[in-house]
């Protein structure tokens, strides 16, 4: 089971959670400076166990991101790159000092391997092996990303002033309550008349409100 900073398994605390309970109160009581406490906090990092399978790597011409969140996927990546990961051996203690050292060194091994081919070459190799991956994109590039467009994650709307706009679409899909963006963000005061008329205001009342700059 994966843990995060806001997920706690009471019977299996992470190093930072144990530090929070045991060391942090003592450091605060002793009046230790924040910078020193923060440095100690950063030292309580999680076991880098499988970090090598979930991070970006520089290729010979760009950067590729890897997202292997399960052991079967990690093994596919190791096999595709011709790497023997000792931690997949039956009965191997993944928490041992040897295992942690291996995990740290493995990142360096993969960095060297990935640097030897282009992103396109690695995309072909890893896709054929069933490894989740993709070329690194800057946020601004996502408005033209084919997959994001196909999945409806980027949608086009028309703004009354700015014209055609592209931006994030609904991130969730619900079978009984389909989500859809039907129009762009309103311009300043665009729907004032419409809303107040629905609320029962007359044309004369609307005019008076605008003259007094109560509404726009």
Report pLDDT digits (tens) over 100-157. 899 989 999 999 999 999 999 999 999 999 999 999 999 999 999 998 899 889 999 9
**Structure confidence at residue 1 (pLDDT):** 54
Share of the chain above pLDDT 70, in %: 97
177 vs 144: CA distance, rounded Å? 27
Helix (H) / strand (E) element for 208: namely: helix 203-211
User: How, if at all, do strands 163-168 and 154-159 pair?
Assistant: antiparallel
71 vs 53: CA distance, rounded Å? 10
**Structure confidence at residue 47 (pLDDT):** 60
Lowest mean pLDDT among 42-46, 98-102, 124-128, 210-214: 42-46
Treating both helix axes as pointing N-terminal to C-terminal, what angle do 119-129 and 71-80 enclose, rounded to 10 degrees? 130
53 vs 80: CA distance, rounded Å? 12
Spatial contact of 50 and 63, defined as CB atoms under 8 Å apart: no
**Residue 158 DSSP symbol:** E
53 vs 114: CA distance, rounded Å? 12
∠ CA 31-37-38, rounded to 5°: 145
What the block records as the tokens of 130 is 């069933």
Spatial contact of 98 and 35, defined as CB atoms under 8 Å apart: no
Spatial contact of 68 and 53, defined as CB atoms under 8 Å apart: yes
CA 180 to chain CA centroid, Å, is 23
For residue 122, the tally of other CB atoms under 10 A from its CB is 24
Q: Which residue stretches of 44-174 are H helix?
A: 71-80, 97-114, 119-129, 146-150
50 vs 103: CA distance, rounded Å? 7
**Structure confidence at residue 46 (pLDDT):** 57
Spatial contact of 168 and 181, defined as CB atoms under 8 Å apart: no
Looking at per-residue confidence, does 81 or 159 come out higher? 81
């Amino acid at each position: 089971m994966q843990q995060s900073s806001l997920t706690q398994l009471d019977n299996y605390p992470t190093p930072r959670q144990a530090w929070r309970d045991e060391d942090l109160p003592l450091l605060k009581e002793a009046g230790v400076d924040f910078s020193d406490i923060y440095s100690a906090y950063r030292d309580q990092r999680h076991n880098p166990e499988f970090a090598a399978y979930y991070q970006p790597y520089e290729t010979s011409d760009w950067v590729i991101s890897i997202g292997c969140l399960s052991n079967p996927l990690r093994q596919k990546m190791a096999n595709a790159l011709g790497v023997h990961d000792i931690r997949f051996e039956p009965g191997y203690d993944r928490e041992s000092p040897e295992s942690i050292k291996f995990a740290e060194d493995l990142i360096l091994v993969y960095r060297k391997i990935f640097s030897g081919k282009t992103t396109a070459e690695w995309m072909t190799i890893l896709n054929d092996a069933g490894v989740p991956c993709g070329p690194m994109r800057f946020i601004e590039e996502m408005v033209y990303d084919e997959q994001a467009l196909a999945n409806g994650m980027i949608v086009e709307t028309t703004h009354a002033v700015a014209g055609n706009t592209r931006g994030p679409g609904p991130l969730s899909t619900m079978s009984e309550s389909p989500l859809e963006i039907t129009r762009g963000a309103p311009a300043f005061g665009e729907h004032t008349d419409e809303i107040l008329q629905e609320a029962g205001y007359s044309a004369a009342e609307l005019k008076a409100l605008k003259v007094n700059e109560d509404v726009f």
